[in-house]
Structure 1
Amino acid sequence: MKKALKILAVILVIVAMLVAYNYSKLNIISGYSAKNMSSSVFVAGRAPAFTDSTDNSFAPINFARDFVDLQKKYASASVYGLMERKAIYRKGLGSVLIDDDYDITQETPIPFRSNIARMVPYPYGNMKQKDTTFANIDYAKIENEVQYAFAEVDGEDVKKTRAVLVIYKDQIIAEQYAKGFNKDSKILGWSMTKSLLSTMYGVLQYQGKLNVWDKAPVDAWKKDERNAITIHNLLQMNSGLEWEEDYGKISDVTKMLFLEKDMTASQIEKPLVGKPNETWYYSSGTSNLLSGILRKQFANHQEYLDFPYVEFIDKIGMHSMLIEADMEGNYVGSSYGWATPRDWAKFGLLYLHRGDWNGTRIFDDSWVDYITKPTPTSNGRYGGHFWLNAGGFHPDVPKDMYSANGYQGQRIYIIPSKDLVVVRFGLVGKDGTDFNKFLSGICNAIK
C-alpha cells in the first residue's frame, strides 16, 4: 500500500511539474486541441477517437483532454481541467475558437456555393479518367517513390503520410492513401492556404479591381514610415514589419491563431524592424492582414465571403474546399483551408496551366510569373505566397518547381518543365521524408 502511495505521489509531482512548466501555454494547448478536434470532426467528418490518437497525439497537445458534442457541434478541451477552450462549428465557415464574449446564437453569413456536375473526366469533371499509359514514364520508378513516401522505418510509421497524388499531363499516374483515408477525405492544408489567398489577389488583379503595386490600405500606417509598404511587399512577405513565427512557444503566430478574435489585426500593430522590399520574413500575420485588406475590396461581408468560391474555387470544381473564418468572419488565409487531395491537386493544375481552366481564365498568365519571382533576400526560396526552387533548395529537382507548403509536410508541387503536379499530405514533414529524393525520383521517371 505504501509503495502504491509513493508511486502515486511521484506521478502527481511529475504531473504538477509538467503543468507548472507549461502553465503559460495551457491556453494555447487547449485551444489547439479544441480547434483541431472541432475541425476534424465537423469539417472533415473524422471520429473524435481517431483525431485524439493521430492529429492531437503529439506533445504538448496530448496533455489536453477533449469533449465533443455531436448534436450541438462543438468541441472543448482543457489540460487537467485547467484553461478550458471551446471551438464551435459554423456552416460554411468551419470551426472557430470562441471566447466568453462570443454570442453563439448570432446568425452568420454563409458563403454562396455552386456544385455543377460536369460529365467529363477528372480534373475538369466528375467522371472517371480513361486508362492512359505514357511511353515516356517509368511506372515502376514512380511506384517506388510513392512507396517510399509511405514506407515504415524499423517498423515505425515515421513519415505519417496520408495521401500522395501524382498528375502528369492532367492524368493521374499514381495515387495512394493511408488507412482511413481515400480520395474523398478532406485534409487541412495549413499554410497552403496562403497560396489560395494569393490567388484571390491574382483574380482581383486580373479583373482590374485591385493593383498589387499600390500602397497597402491600412489607416494605422498612413502617418508613419509604414506608409511605404505596398500590397506587393505583403504578398512577398517582405514588408520589414516585426513578427515572430514560432509554433513552439507563445509567440505572435500562436497568440494570433489561438487567442485573437480578429486575426487580421495582429500584424497591423507591429513596428518596422527593417525596410520594405529588403527584409524577408515568413509571417502568418501578414497573410491574415492581407485577408483583412481583401475584405475591404467588397461592399459588404457577404460579397467578401462569396468571392473566392464564386470567382475561383467552385469555378475549377474544388467543391470540397472550405476556408475557415475567425470570430469576426475573416478568412484565416494563413492556415485553415480544407479540401480533398484531388481538389488540392486541381489548384496545382490551375497554376500549371497558368490560370486557364479548360478554356475559362481565372487569373492572367502573367500572375504565374509574378508569384514565382523570388522575393529579395529570400535566397530564391520565396515568391508571392508560394515557395520556390529558384535557389536550388531541392538540388536534384528542376529549378522551375514551385509549391504551396503547409505545416507537417502538406505540399502541392508544380513542375512546369515536367508538366507535373505532385501532392503530398501527412502529419510529419521533412523530419520524416526527404522531399528532394521523393521529387527527384518522380521527375527522373519521366523522360
Structure 2
Amino acid sequence: MKWIKRSLLLLLVILVMGAWLNYPKLNIISGYASKNMASTLSIAKRSEASVILQDNNVPLIKLADVDVDNNSATATVFGLMPRKTICRPGLGCTLVNAEYDADFNLAEPQRSFTKNNTPFPFGNGAAKDTVFQEVDYQVMEHALYNAFADSDVQKTRSVLVVYKNHIVAERYIDGFTKDTPILGWSMTKSVLATLFGILEFEGKIDLGKTGMVDAWKNDERNEITLNHLLRMQSGLEWDEDYSGISDVTKMLFLASDMAQIQAEKKALAKPTEIWNYSSGTSNLLSGILRNQFDSYQDYVDFPYVALIDRIGMHSMLIETDMKGNFVGSSYAWANTRDWAKFGLLYLNNGNWNGEQLFGKTWVDYVTEPTDLSDGTYGGHFWLNAHGKYPDAPKDLYSANGYQGQRVFIIPSKDLVIVRTGLAEAPDFDFNGFLKDILRAIP
C-alpha cells in the first residue's frame, strides 16, 4: 500500500513539474498558431481549413485551437494561454500582447500598383512562350516531378525555374497558383539587406558606420558597424533555437518591439571574433533602417518605393510588429513569381529593365564569404562557396527561409530557381533538386 502511495505521489510530482516547465511554451504555441492563421487568411486568402490541415498541422502547434473573427484570430491550447493576432491595412497581421493599444494607429504604406501587362519578369502579364534549344525540357519536367513526387514528406508547394529572364518550368500543388502569396520566413532577411544596398548605392549610408544604438554609447558595443550586423559578426549574445523558449521565439511571439531585443543583449566577443546567425540582428537592422527617416510614413513607404513596387513585386507585403517595425527577420510574403523577380534583380546585378537599383559591388559584397561561417554566409545571403551543395556551382547564393523556402541565384548558369514548401532537408533533398534541374541546363 505504501509503495502504491509513493508511486502515485511520484507521478503527481512528475506531472506538476512537467506542467510547470511546459506551461510557458503554451504562450509560444498559441502565439504561433494565432499568427499563422491570421496572416495566411488575410494575406494569402487561403481557407481556415487548409491552414489547420497543412500549416498548423505540426507537432505542438496542432494542439492549438484557433477562433477567427473578422480581422483577428485567437488561439488557445487546452483552453489556456489565449493569444490574439490583429490585422492592419498595409501592415499585415501582428501578434499582440497586454501592451496592445487598439487606439494606437500607424500609417499604412502608400503603394503604387502600376498596371503593367508586359511579359514576366518586367511586367505582370503572361510569361513569354520561349523555347531554348539548349534546354532539355524533358529532363526539366522530370526534375519538377521529383520535387513533388512524395507530397507527404517533401511538402513542396511551388517550383519556378527562370533561365535568361524566361520561365522554363513552373508547377504548384493544388490550392496554390502563381498568384498565391507565400511566407518567405528568413528570406525576408535578404530583402531587408537589399534596402541597405539601395541606400548605400544612393550614397545615404556607410556600412562602416558605428554608434547606431544609444544604449551602446558607453561600452564596447559602440564599435559594432552595419557591416558586422549584415554579416552576423556583431559578437552579441543570441540563441536562435526554434525548438523551445529561446531568444528568437520570445522575440517573434512575445515581444512588442522586436527591433530592441538584440540591442539589449550583451557582447560575448568583439566584432568579427565569432559568427552567430541571429534573427534579432535582422530586426535590429530594421530599427536602424527606421532611424534613417524623418517620419514613420517615410520608413513604411521605403521598401515599396525603393524596391518592391519599383520592380513590380506587387504581391509582396512585409508585416510589422506592434510598434510598427518591419519584421525584417521573418515576415515577408510574396507569390512565387515575385520571389523569382527578387532573385532576378540580383542575377542582373541590381539592374531592372535598364534602371540601376544597386551596384555590382553590392552583389560582390553579399556574396563574399563571411569569416568563421565556413563559406556558407555572406551579407544576409547564404552561399555555396565551400560546396554545401556539391552538385551545384560554387557561385550559387540564395535567400533561405524556414521550412525550405529558397530563392537560388546561379550567375554562371543565368538561372534563378524558387522552391517553396513546408519541409527542410533531409525531407527535401536540395542538392538532388538542384542537380536534377542543372542537368537540363547546359
TM-score bucket of the superposed structures, by smaller chain: over 0.9
> Would you say the 8 A contact 2:37–2:48 is kept in 1?
yes
Question: Which of 356, 359, 363 is residue 351 of structure 2 equivalent to?
Answer: 356
Q: Match for residue 127 of structure 1?
A: 125
Cα distance in 1 for residues equivalent to 2:28 and 2:211: 31
Q: SS of the residue aligned with 1:442?
A: helix
Q: Match for residue 103 of structure 1?
A: 101
Question: Which of 286, 294, 300 is residue 299 of structure 1 equivalent to?
Answer: 294
> Would you say the 8 A contact 1:216–1:231 is kept in 2?
no
CA 1:425–1:19: 2 relative to 1, 3 Å: farther
Q: Match for residue 236 of structure 2?
A: 241
Residues 371-409 of structure 1, C-alpha deviations (whole Å, 9 max, x = no match): 001110001100000000011111110000000000000
Q: Match for residue 55 of structure 2?
A: 55
State yes or no: 1:225 paired with 2:220: yes
Q: SS of the residue aligned with 2:76?
A: strand
Q: SS of the residue aligned with 1:23?
A: helix
Greater shift after overlay, 105-114 or 164-173? 105-114
Cα distance in 1 for residues equivalent to 2:353 and 2:17: 59
Residues 176-216 of structure 1, C-alpha deviations (whole Å, 9 max, x = no match): 00111000101000000000000000010011110111115
> Would you say the 8 A contact 1:348–1:414 is kept in 2?
yes
Cα distance in 2 for residues equivalent to 1:127 and 1:194: 28
Question: Which of 278, 303, 313 is residue 308 of structure 1 equivalent to?
Answer: 303
Cα distance in 1 for residues equivalent to 2:289 and 2:219: 22
Cα distance in 1 for residues equivalent to 2:119 and 2:87: 33
State yes or no: 1:144 paired with 2:139: no
Q: Match for residue 90 of structure 1?
A: 88
Cα distance in 2 for residues equivalent to 1:261 and 1:130: 45
State yes or no: 1:440 paired with 2:438: no
Cα distance in 2 for residues equivalent to 1:19 and 1:183: 44
Q: Match for residue 65 of structure 2?
A: 65
Q: Match for residue 31 of structure 2?
A: 31
Q: Match for residue 324 of structure 2?
A: 329
State yes or no: 1:215 paired with 2:213: no
Greater shift after overlay, 267-276 or 286-295? 267-276
Cα distance in 2 for residues equivalent to 1:220 and 1:103: 26
Cα distance in 1 for residues equivalent to 2:85 and 2:16: 26
Which stretches of structure 1, 4 residues or longer, exceed 6 Å deviation after superposition?
14-18
State yes or no: 1:371 paired with 2:369: no
State yes or no: 1:339 paired with 2:334: yes
Q: Match for residue 287 of structure 1?
A: 282
> Would you say the 8 A contact 2:398–2:407 is kept in 1?
yes
Report the Cα offset of residue 106 of structure 1: 3.0
Cα distance in 2 for residues equivalent to 1:419 and 1:16: 59
CA 1:356–1:423: 2 relative to 1, 3 Å: same
Q: SS of the residue aligned with 2:39?
A: helix
2:25 corresponds to which letter in structure 1? K
> Would you say the 8 A contact 1:374–1:390 is kept in 2?
yes
Q: Match for residue 406 of structure 1?
A: 401
Question: Which of 389, 414, 419 is residue 419 of structure 1 equivalent to?
Answer: 414
Residues 154-196 of structure 1, C-alpha deviations (whole Å, 9 max, x = no match): xx61001000000000111100001110001010000000000
Gaps of 5+ in 1: 1-13
Q: SS of the residue aligned with 2:90?
A: coil
Q: SS of the residue aligned with 2:288?
A: helix
Q: Match for residue 42 of structure 1?
A: 42
> Would you say the 8 A contact 2:147–2:156 is kept in 1?
yes
Residues 124-178 of structure 1, C-alpha deviations (whole Å, 9 max, x = no match): 01221232111111111111111111111xxx61001000000000111100001
Q: Match for residue 263 of structure 1?
A: 258
Cα distance in 1 for residues equivalent to 2:419 and 2:98: 38
1:168 corresponds to which letter in structure 2? Y
1:172 corresponds to which letter in structure 2? I
Report the Cα offset of residue 20 of structure 1: 5.5
Q: SS of the residue aligned with 2:435?
A: helix
> Would you say the 8 A contact 1:164–1:175 is kept in 2?
yes
Residues 189-248 of structure 1, C-alpha deviations (whole Å, 9 max, x = no match): 000000000000001001111011111511111111111111000000011111000000
Report the Cα offset of residue 15 of structure 1: 10
Cα distance in 1 for residues equivalent to 2:136 and 2:234: 45
> Would you say the 8 A contact 1:163–1:425 is kept in 2?
yes
2:180 corresponds to which letter in structure 1? S
Q: TM-score, normalised by structure 1?
A: 0.94
Cα distance in 2 for residues equivalent to 1:149 and 1:17: 44
Q: Match for residue 165 of structure 1?
A: 160
Question: Which of 242, 254, 270 is residue 275 of structure 1 equivalent to?
Answer: 270
Q: SS of the residue aligned with 2:154?
A: coil
Residues 257-277 of structure 1, C-alpha deviations (whole Å, 9 max, x = no match): 000000001101111112211
Cα distance in 2 for residues equivalent to 1:21 and 1:231: 38
Residues 88-113 of structure 1, C-alpha deviations (whole Å, 9 max, x = no match): 00000000011123122332200010
Cα distance in 1 for residues equivalent to 2:284 and 2:423: 28
> Would you say the 8 A contact 2:31–2:253 is kept in 1?
yes
> Would you say the 8 A contact 1:151–1:157 is kept in 2?
no
2:105 corresponds to which letter in structure 1? E
Q: Match for residue 9 of structure 1?
A: none
